[in-house]
Chain A
Amino acid sequence: MNPPILSQSPAADARLQAPPAGLDPQAPRRHRFEVRYRNEQGALLRLLNAISRRGLDFESVRAEADADAGRLTAIVGANPKHIAQICRDWRVMVDVIEVLQPIDLDREPEQAPRTI
């Protein structure tokens, strides 16, 4: 089952920014990001750049496309502030169709996708 779509809701962003109780809010945690986009020139690189411009390292990246759209899945260690910023940046990109709720893999490892 797909994770829920992250609506363009500041409340959703606020939830993203709030770290789990008792955790260092600045500590990076492994997250799985997923986004659907129109697979046109440069779209994938713009998506990846939103992560790399913040100095974050990719643990894994998977991109695939079908006739309708491309889908990017990336696993990245990021703190809550970065996560919210990345999702906001993605949502306003011209070729982005939807941004899915990132999954905290340190908390929910069973949902980790296979990596390539």
Chain B
Amino acid sequence: MPKGAELVWRSVREQGVDTVFGYPGGAVIPLYDALEGSGVRHILTRHEQGAVFAAEGWARATGRAGVAIATSGPGATNLITGIADARMDSTPLVCITGQVRSNLIGTDAFQETDIFGMTLPITKWSRLVRGVEEIPEVMRRAFEIAQSGRPGPVLVDIPVDCLKAVAGELPPPPSPKTNAAAKAAAKSAAFPGVALSALLREAKRPLALVGAGVKLAGAVAPLRALLDRLQLPAGMTVHGLGAIAPEAGYNLGMVGMHGTRAANTALHETDLLLVFGARLDDRVTGDPARFAPAARIVHFEIDSSQLDRVRPAHLSIPGDLADTLPLCLEAIGRKPLPDWSEWRELACGPERAEMAASALSVPALQLLDELYALLPEDSYIVADVGQHQMWAAQRYRSANPRGFITSGGLGSMGFALPAAIGVQLARPNSKVVCIAGDGGIQMNIQELATIKRCSLPIKLLLVDNKYLGMVRQWQQLFYDRNYAETDLSDNPDFLALARAYGIDGERLQLDPGGPQGLPKNRGEMLRRMLDDPKPRLLLFECAPEANVFPMVPSGAALSEMLLQEQAKS
């Protein structure tokens, strides 16, 4: 009969997961003892936070649940930021933690912590295993819940004695449940097609806003078909990037705090806003009371708790976008729609100008444009958190729906490097570029060792302004340039640090005499990085006081965004 640890690995394999991320410790030794021969590849990170972010990266690239493993106590608590991150960004994640022996629980034993209780508010579901026989069913439910509905993190806490125990007779697996009945019910429920069509036909300035839900539902194709039919301006949240074909004439780019001028202006002026799988958080809406003030809102969303949370919708359409988007297309039918071409041109024209012109004023934007131009379509950008993240998002134009991965909701600095590890392992034949700042990179820099150990050809573009740049930007604009504790001018030598981990790289410095302030040979540097079969660092030393514009100040309306020229004056 199998031991509990063997049942865990068997469950992981049965879910189709072949790669997990973790860090061993006392309470999970039996799990690692049973690893060999399990058919599961374990990636040893150098910190549990690295493991959980790597599992998130793997999950976001594949759409399946990532798995992170940690021991009890500090190992488990080190997972918490990643669990919260997965919760905010709807990432399917199964965290397996070791726990002290069952008879020691509650005695403040060595490395005991109530990880079950600590993570209740940030998990969809969790279980403290009470006997070895529970393991198969608990694991099955964990994966099912993590991946169903709005995806999210779950936690399975297993006392070490349950991992070591030999299972007796296991309860029979439950008869396979499908959610076919629920889906059929959802489909048969009256889709408000007539009401939706009426709203569209009355609209003079309709606009679509696309969020991560479209990708999570696997509904990018029906979304594109719908938008092609409607031909109305469409913007994306940071997690929606890639869902709209970049060449589409209705593409407005990114919306929100650092969205394009065109997208935010159009959002402020629209009279009908179709929201597809976006929860309308404050970084997207600005002041919610003044968000899309003239608009009636139609909200398509799988998570009904998000409906009417920020602004009441005129029409709420709960459900899986894979079901509701085709119904929407069907409801609109073949009848002619109003001619919105004038509005579309008015709304989208500035975006095209912005994409061309603003690149000339900020060298980082120019460099990103040139980097993106060199990347194949199936590449992945994994961005950390800060100014570089917003620059990377603003310039991102790719048709790869999962190609832009970042920590959006929680904004976890230190996310990108380990997440890129997960992405590269999930997509070994794709180019994976990690874009990080000099602040965030140092939060999980130990994972360079994991990259080296696994020979992962990750490309690291490190944007070094020797500041916590985004905080410094707020200090500059809203706190009278009081740069309190954001100066990182004593950064380590990143190239030497990378070399210490066995990773080569080179430095790209600004050249005031060069085109767009960049040296003439930057193209060669980018190509050297991308063509290197090994991991490689390109250290870009950007201007210390470069800023991200447009910017909607916190609490302001989208129409009150600051533009570069205004900020200068």
Query: A-side interface residues toward B, CB under 8 Å?
Result: 8, 10, 13-14, 17, 41-42, 45-46, 49, 53, 84-85, 88-89, 91-92, 94-95
Contact = CB atoms under 8 A, between A and B. Distances in A.
B304 A94 contact: no
A49 B120 contact: yes
A92 B303 contact: yes
Nearest to A90: B305
B312 A14 contact: yes
Interface stretch (B102-110, B124-132, B244-252): B124-132
Contacts of B116: 41-42
Given A8-B318, A17-B312, A88 B117 contact: no
Contact of A88 (B145, B149, B305): B305
A16 B456 CA distance: 53
24 contacts: A8-B304, A10-B307, A10-B308, A10-B313, A14-B308, A14-B312, A17-B308, A17-B312, A41-B116, A41-B128, A42-B125, A46-B120, A53-B121, A84-B308, A88-B306, A88-B307, A88-B308, A88-B309, A89-B305, A91-B304, A92-B149, A92-B303, A92-B305, A94-B124
A10 B309 contact: no
Interface in B313-364: 313, 316, 318
A88 B304 CA distance: 7
B120 A42 contact: yes
Interface in B461-511: none
Given A92-B304, A94-B145, A41 B126 contact: yes
A53 B318 CA distance: 25
**Which has the most chain B C-beta neighbours within 10 Å: A8, A13, A85, A91?**
A13
B305 A91 contact: yes
A93 B310 CA distance: 19
Nearest to A88: B305
Interface centre among B117, B145, B305 (most CB of A within 10 A): B305
A18 to B, nearest CB: 10
A8 B126 CA distance: 24
Contacts of A13: 307-308, 312
A10 to B, nearest CB: 4
Nearest to A42: B120
B461 to A, nearest CB: 38
Contacts of B145: 94
